[in-house]
């Protein structure tokens, strides 16, 4: 937490991209989201979308992701601040989901994007928001994100709407042989009973 | 969408990864099947996903190979598989800057954007606007205006957000759509309201009086969207600071009234706005401060942190 002394000076000196809210210098805008990315539990990128040129090169993006990961992977606090940016995040089994905005953005707005992303993926991946399922259904994940944020603007915040539009569900028939056998078994039973009627 | 697990991978414990050992040239070679008929949607989808994944991982595509892949992808429009079509739209957007002659998909996209399948219309609009230049925009102007006021909210939202992006390319053309945006603002849909407000503000922001009038209108008519409210609060704060108005104005009253909104997001935005207004009296600050103090004991960590940060200012 910053002390009161010298705060005004440092705030002005840092200018527009400085940490903390610079009152009124920012233009009200729909362009709120800087980036959304999903990392595995080694901090490697699985999916990432950057919406402005804060990190223009892939190298800078990946360095940023690494920094964010280092800062957040061991804590549970959902929100972090650095580099003049607010990062809200959520971990799920072996994945980390991040939404990034400027530090002067409304944190609850950023959270609404994160929540929508997670809930939508939760449905698409049949409640298995983990690396294996994500990789197997990467197209679904790409489409989900595409429906939530467009060019940095929040397009949709209601996961139900996203799910409806994407209309994609992971197919779980290949996942375990055991469960397939079970399904076939119960189908056989049902046919047997219906024939007996 | 069946993706088979490799038994070997599963046993090795590292989990299967369909993108392991992915090689760009191999994938591009595979993409040649896009030219075959009939199109196998699942296989094509899988290959397209691999291409997008590679791009996402930072793989560099040269112009020739990107253009070839792009052209091959256009064949996939022949398939009616929904997911495949949507992935095509995504591919168009992702490859728009690295492939040449992307405008060849313009007629397909225009067809989809005005077609019967509502599911395609929004995404088609967004893809189209990613490849459109100023001249083309005039050609599709009629469709854009129709789309903005479309009853299907996803179509309207897509058109509005795309209009916002298009302002950077062709502000003068988009400016002509202000009436449509105005009409869209009276939508019941919370996202359409938000997007319409955003477009209107960006169109009027250089004219302080116009912004003031717009603010006045919306604060009276009462929007539903919590996102729109947050945007209005920001517009209002900016107006207050620019006009150096005293806090006796209805603009300040509007912000203050948002402290009693039913959405936390709006309450927080309003409290934050008040705290950041210069020359606030203690009396004016008090309700904002007490709301933030309440948030400091919220069960939601993000809200707690945000409130503490703001109070600390």
Q: CA–CA separation, B313 vs B311, rounded Å? A: 5
> Do residue A143 and residue B83 have CB atoms under 8 angstroms apart?
yes
Interface mutation vs chain B, best among A4, A21, A24, most B CBs within 10 Å: A24
In whole angstroms, give the CA distance from residue B24 to residue B2.
23
Of A21, A155, A167, the CB nearest to B82: A167
- Among candidates B58, B87, B238 on the partner chain, residue whose Cβ is nearest the Cβ of A24: B238
Pick from B58, B162, B310: CB nearest A58? B58
Q: Nearest-CA distance from A42 to chain B in Å?
A: 13
B126 with B88, same domain? no
Chain A residues with CB-CB distance to B19 below 8 A: 135, 138
pLDDT of A50-66, one tens digit each? 999 999 999 999 999 99
- Domain end call among B181, B204, B227: B204
Instruction: Give pLDDT, residue A164.
Output: 93
Residue B1 lies in a domain: no
φ and ψ at B267, to 5 degrees? -55, -45
Burial (CB count <10 Å: 0-12, 13-18, 19+), residue B300 = middle
Provide the token pair at A171.
């197919």
Q: From the CA of A70, how many Å to the nearest CA of chain B?
A: 19
Q: Are residues B46 and B63 in the same domain?
A: yes
Shortest CA gap B195–chain A (Å):
8
Token digits of residue B288 = 């904002």
Residue A5 C-alpha, separation from nearest chain B C-alpha, in angstroms: 12
Do B84 and B186 share a structural domain? no
**pLDDT category, A190, cuts 50, 70, 90?**
low
B223 in the same domain as B312? yes
B133 & B46 share domain: no
Q: Is the pLDDT of residue A15 over 50?
A: no
pLDDT by residue (tens digit) across A83-130?
A: 899 999 999 999 999 999 999 999 999 999 999 999 999 999 999 999
Q: Which residue has the higher pLDDT, B305 or B180?
A: B180
The predicted structure's pLDDT at residue A181: 53
Amino acid B95: pLDDT: 94
Rounded to an integer, the average pLDDT of A127-143 is: 94
Angle at B158 between CA B152 and CA B162, to 5 degrees: 150
Max CA separation in chain B (angstroms): 73
On chain A, the residues whose CB falls within 8 A of the CB of B6 are none
Q: Does residue A86 contact residue A110 with C-beta atoms inside 8 Å? A: yes
**Does some domain include residue B262?**
yes
Do B186 and B146 fall within a single domain?
A: yes
Is B149 inside a domain boundary? yes
Q: Taking residues B226-231, report their average pLDDT.
A: 96
| Domain final position from B139, B172, B204 | B204
Mean pLDDT of the B281-285 span: 87
**Lowest-confidence segment of A13-17, A135-139, A178-182, B186-190 by average pLDDT:** A13-17
The distance of B26 to chain A (nearest Cα, Å) reads 19
Q: Which residue of B has its CA nearest to A109?
A: B265
A173 to A120, A122, B175: CA distances (angstroms)? 20, 17, 51
Sheet holding A45-50, edge to edge: A45-50, A33-40, A95-102, A85-92, A79-82
Total domains in chain B come to 3
pLDDT of A6 over the 90 cut: no
In a domain, B10, yes or no: no
Query: Are residue B240 and residue B250 in the same domain, yes or no?
Result: yes
3-state DSSP percent of chain A in helix, strand and coil, to 5:
45, 20, 35
Q: How many CB pairs under 8 A join A and B?
A: 161
Q: Do A24 and B237 touch (CB under 8 A)?
A: yes
Handedness of CA A50, B303, B232, A157 (dihedral sign): positive
SS3 state at A56: coil
Q: Does B4 reside within a domain? A: no
Q: Report CA-CA distances (Å) from A80 to A37, A76, A84, B208, B211.
A: 15, 10, 11, 36, 34
Spatial distance between the Cα atoms of B280 and B298, rounded to a whole number of angstroms: 26
Look at residue B177 and tell me if it is in a domain. yes
What would the mean pLDDT of A23-48 be, rounded to a whole number? 90
B310 plus B213 within the same structural domain: yes
Q: Domain of B257? A: 206-313
B150 is a domain residue: yes
What angle separates helix B82-95 from helix B106-113, to the nearest 10 degrees? 130
* Beta strands at A149-150 and A153-154: parallel, antiparallel or unpaired: antiparallel
Judge contact between A130 and A94, C-beta under 8 A.
yes
Radius of gyration, CA atoms only, chain A: 21
Residues of B in contact with A112 (CB under 8 A): 265
Average pLDDT, chain A: 83
Q: In whole angstroms, what is the distance from residue A42 CA to residue A96 CA?
A: 10
Q: What's the pLDDT tens digit per position in B138-153?
A: 999 999 999 999 999 9
User: pLDDT (tens digit, 9 = 90+) per residue, B103-117?
Assistant: 999 999 999 999 999
Q: Give the dihedral sign, CA B143/B146/B149/B152.
A: negative
Task: Check CB contact under 8 Å for A77 and B194.
Answer: no
pLDDT classification of A25: cutoffs 50, 70, 90: low
CATH class of the structural domain A33-172: alpha beta
Domain end marker among B79, B100, B121: B100
Q: Residue A169: closest CA among chain B residues belongs to which residue?
A: B1
Residue of A105, A153, A173 to mutate, testing the B interface (most B Cβ within 10 Å of its Cβ): A153
Q: Which residue of A has its CA nearest to B4?
A: A174
Please report the pLDDT score of residue B54 as a whole number. 95
- B115: domain CATH number is 1.25.10.10
Q: Is the omega angle on the peptide bond into residue A37 within 30 degrees of 0, that is, cis? A: no
State whether B199 and B230 are in the same domain: no
Q: What are the sequence ranges of the domains in chain A?
A: 33-172
DSSP A10: H
Can you give the pLDDT at residue A13? 39
Rounded to 5 degrees, φ, ψ at A93 are 55, -95
Scored b (16 or more CB within 10 A) or e, A13-46 reads eeeeebbbbbbbeeebbbbbbbbbbbbbeebebb
* A151 phi/psi in degrees, rounded to 5: 60, 25
Per-residue pLDDT at A37: 97
Q: Which of A45, A78, A138 sits opposite B49 (nearest CB)?
A: A138
Mark yes or no for CB contact A171/B53 under 8 Å. no
Looking at residues A14-31, what average pLDDT do you find? 59
ipTM over 0.90: yes
**Chain A positions in Cβ-Cβ contact with residue B234 (cut-off 8 Å):** 26, 28
B235·A28 Cβ contact <8 A: yes
Q: Which residue has the tokens 């001249």?
A: B135
User: Considering CB atoms only, which of A45, A142, A161 is closest to B57?
Assistant: A45
Residue in B303, B304, B221, B219 with CA at minimum distance from that of residue B256? B219
Q: Which of B82, B86, B265 sits opposite A109 (nearest CB)?
A: B265
Nearest by CB to B15, from A45, A132, A161: name it. A132
Answer yes or no: is B7 within a domain: no
Q: How confident is the model at residue A40 (pLDDT cuts 50, 70, 90)?
A: very high
Q: How far is CA A140 from the centre of its chain?
A: 13
pLDDT tens digits, one per residue of B41-94: 999 999 999 999 999 999 999 999 999 999 999 999 999 999 999 999 999 999
């Amino acid at each position: 937490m910053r002390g009161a002394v010298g705060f005004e000076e440092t705030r002005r000196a840092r200018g527009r991209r400085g940490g903390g809210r610079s009152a009124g210098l920012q233009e009200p805008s729909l362009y709120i989201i800087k980036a959304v990315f999903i990392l595995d539990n080694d901090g490697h990128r699985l999916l990432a979308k950057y919406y402005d040129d804060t990190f223009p090169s892939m190298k800078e993006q990946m360095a940023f992701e690494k920094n964010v990961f280092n800062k957040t992977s061991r804590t549970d606090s959902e929100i972090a601040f650095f580099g003049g940016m607010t990062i809200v995040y959520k971990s799920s089994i072996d994945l980390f989901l991040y939404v990034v905005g400027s530090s002067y953005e409304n944190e609850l707005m950023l959270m609404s994007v994160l929540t929508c992303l997670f809930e939508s993926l939760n449905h698409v991946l049949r409640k298995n928001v983990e690396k294996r399922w994500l990789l197997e259904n990467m197209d679904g994940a790409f489409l989900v994100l595409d429906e939530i944020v467009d060019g940095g603007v929040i397009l949709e915040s209601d996961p139900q709407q996203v799910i409806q539009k994407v209309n994609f569900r992971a197919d779980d028939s290949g996942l375990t042989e055991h469960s397939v056998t079970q399904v076939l078994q119960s189908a056989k039973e049902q046919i047997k009973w219906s024939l007996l009627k | 969408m069946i993706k088979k697990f490799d038994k070997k991978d599963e046993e090795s414990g590292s989990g299967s990864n369909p993108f392991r050992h992915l090689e760009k040239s191999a994938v591009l070679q595979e993409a040649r099947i896009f030219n075959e008929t009939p199109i196998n949607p699942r296989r094509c989808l899988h290959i397209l996903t691999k291409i997008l994944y590679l791009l996402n991982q930072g793989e560099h595509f040269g112009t020739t190979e990107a253009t070839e892949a792009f052209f091959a992808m256009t064949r996939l429009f022949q398939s009616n598989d929904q997911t495949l079509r949507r992935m095509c739209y995504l591919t168009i957007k992702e490859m728009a800057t690295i492939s040449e002659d992307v405008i060849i998909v313009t007629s397909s996209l225009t067809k989809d954007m005005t077609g019967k399948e509502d599911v395609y219309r929004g995404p088609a609009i967004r893809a189209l606007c990613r490849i459109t230049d100023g001249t083309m925009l005039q050609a599709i102007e009629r469709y854009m205006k129709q789309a903005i006021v479309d009853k299907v909210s996803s179509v309207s939202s897509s058109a509005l957000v795309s209009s916002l992006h298009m302002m950077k390319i062709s502000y003068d053309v988009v400016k002509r759509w202000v009436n449509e945006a105005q009409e869209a603002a009276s939508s019941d849909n919370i996202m359409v309201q938000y997007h319409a407000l955003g477009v209107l503000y960006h169109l009027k922001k250089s004219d302080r009086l116009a912004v003031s009038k717009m603010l006045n209108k919306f604060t009276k008519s009462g929007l539903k969207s919590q996102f729109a409210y947050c945007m209005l609060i920001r517009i209002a704060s900016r107006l207050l600071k620019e006009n150096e108005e005293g806090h006796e104005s209805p603009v300040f009253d509007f912000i203050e009234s948002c402290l009693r909104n039913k959405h936390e997001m709006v309450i927080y935005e309003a409290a934050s706005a008040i705290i950041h207004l210069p020359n606030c009296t203690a009396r004016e600050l008090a309700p904002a401060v007490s709301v933030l103090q309440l948030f400091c004991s919220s069960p939601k960590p993000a809200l707690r942190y945000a409130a503490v940060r703001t109070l600390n200012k």
